[in-house]
Amino acid sequence: MLGKFLSNAAFRIMLLLMAAIFSTALGAQGLGSADNRLVEERPNPSGGATLVTFGVFIFDIDEIDDVNQRFRVDMFTATSWHDSRLALPESQRIGHNRSFPLDEIWTPRGLVINDRGLTGHLPRNASIDDLGNVVYRQRSSGELSVDLELKEFPFDTQLLPIDFVTYEHSPDEVQFSVNTDVRGDAASFSAAGWRMKIVEPEYGEFAIPAAGVVLPRLTYYIEAQRNARYYLLTMFLPMSLIIFMSWTVFWLQPDNAARIGISTASIFSLLALGFSIRLSLPAVSYLTRADLFVIGCTLLVFVALGVAVIGGRWANSDRMERAVHLNAIARWAYVGLFGLVATIAMTL
């Protein structure tokens, strides 16, 4: 009798244990499913687009690399949105923010598309208040790419973009708020040789026609104006001096052998200076203002060499009067041509 009772009790305990295990498994499965929806589904997917607000504070832009077409930025970003699923019941609201890893909640899946080496410095955690308002803050620094337009170099003004997209949602699902804010003390940015200011952001779409993909896009711009005085002193002034060194051949007698030496020295000096200038710029398929000036000056120096050769030949063949007359004409025509080259390169 006692053995039968113990056997029945053991059987009942086993049934209870199996039921408990089964219930726990079902609960875990349901919780896991809810957690997946919390991560993968955006808030209120059957409603309108989820509104995402960006705030950016730019600490510094410390370098603009013309050759590699990059710039270095140090910035702080705050991304916010509302997720009612994360709101607490009224009885539990005490006014304290909670911290969640980004991997455990839905996020807009933001991406800086011209990122070439940004590094985040803060934990990837979001702050959530009692009402379900989510804020993700991050400080990032590193390189961003920029497509420089250098036709006006060295009198150019560039727009440096910080280009955000959400890479998993269409514009019907996620929209950037017009309350987006961007700040920074542009006057204190440390990139040498530039004057900067922050301009209004641009809202748009990032499209990949071949894949039929359209993504919401928000672009911040920093306007950077190059300080041309440096290039006037280090490029235009030395090149002008070389031109006027070449000009001195017209003040020497046509039969003076030093004329050829001065002209060839001017050519070599000009080519070396022009080559060093080009090394500071990327390989582009168009001519900059600096290129026009270098090409014009190079042609002038070769003209001076040609006049020196012709004048010398005439002087040595009993046509000294014609050689002197050619010198007199070239002396002032050369100055006029240099003025024309400078005008075309700097103003047209």
What was the pLDDT predicted at 26? 33
What was the pLDDT predicted at 107? 93
Q: Measured on CA atoms in the order 269, 270, 275, 281, is the torsion positive or negative?
A: positive
Under-50 pLDDT residues of the chain: 1-7, 9-34
Domain boundary among 226, 259, 276: 226
Q: What's the CATH number where 191 sits? A: 2.70.170.10
Same domain, 118 and 82: yes
Spatial separation of the C-alpha atoms in residues 189 and 209, rounded to whole Å:
37
Side-chain-facing half-sphere of 99: CA atoms under 13 Å: 4
Same domain, 72 and 208: yes
Strands (E), 167-209: 174-176, 181-184, 194-208
14 within a domain of the structure (yes/no): no
Same domain, 83 and 115: yes
Same domain, 87 and 206: yes
Give the count of beta carbons closer than 10 Å to the beta carbon of residue 293: 22
Burial (CB < 10 A; 0-12, 13-18, 19+), residue 171, is middle
Are 35 and 104 spatial neighbours (Cβ–Cβ below 8 Å)?
A: yes
Same domain, 153 and 136: yes
Same domain, 252 and 218: no
Q: Measured on CA atoms in the order 204, 207, 213, 218, is the torsion positive or negative?
A: negative
Q: What's the CATH number where 320 sits? A: 1.20.58.390
114 within a domain of the structure (yes/no): yes
Same domain, 152 and 301: no
Count structural domains, the chain: 2
Q: Residue 64 sits in which domain range?
A: 50-226
21 within a domain of the structure (yes/no): no
Are 293 and 239 spatial neighbours (Cβ–Cβ below 8 Å)?
A: yes
Same domain, 73 and 220: yes
What was the pLDDT predicted at 47? 80
8 within a domain of the structure (yes/no): no
**Which letter does DSSP use for residue 348 in this model?**
-
Spatial separation of the C-alpha atoms in residues 344 and 65, rounded to whole Å:
27
Same domain, 161 and 247: no
Torsion of CA 15, 18, 19, 24, to 10 degrees: 160
Same domain, 202 and 248: no
19 within a domain of the structure (yes/no): no
Torsion of CA 334, 339, 342, 345, to 10 degrees: -100
Same domain, 80 and 179: yes
What was the pLDDT predicted at 28? 34
- Give the global pTM: 0.81
Residue-wise pLDDT tens digits, 73-130: 999 999 999 999 999 998 888 888 999 999 999 999 889 999 999 999 999 999 999 9
252 within a domain of the structure (yes/no): yes
**Which letter does DSSP use for residue 48 in this model?**
S
143 within a domain of the structure (yes/no): yes
Distance linking the first and last C-alpha atoms of the chain = 114
Domain boundary among 226, 259, 293: 226
9 within a domain of the structure (yes/no): no
Same domain, 264 and 209: no
Domain boundary among 192, 226, 260: 226
Q: Which residues contact 97 (CB under 8 A, 6 or more apart)?
A: 127, 128, 129
Spatial separation of the C-alpha atoms in residues 95 and 97, rounded to whole Å:
7
What was the pLDDT predicted at 142? 97
What was the pLDDT predicted at 4? 44
Spatial separation of the C-alpha atoms in residues 56 and 201, rounded to whole Å:
11
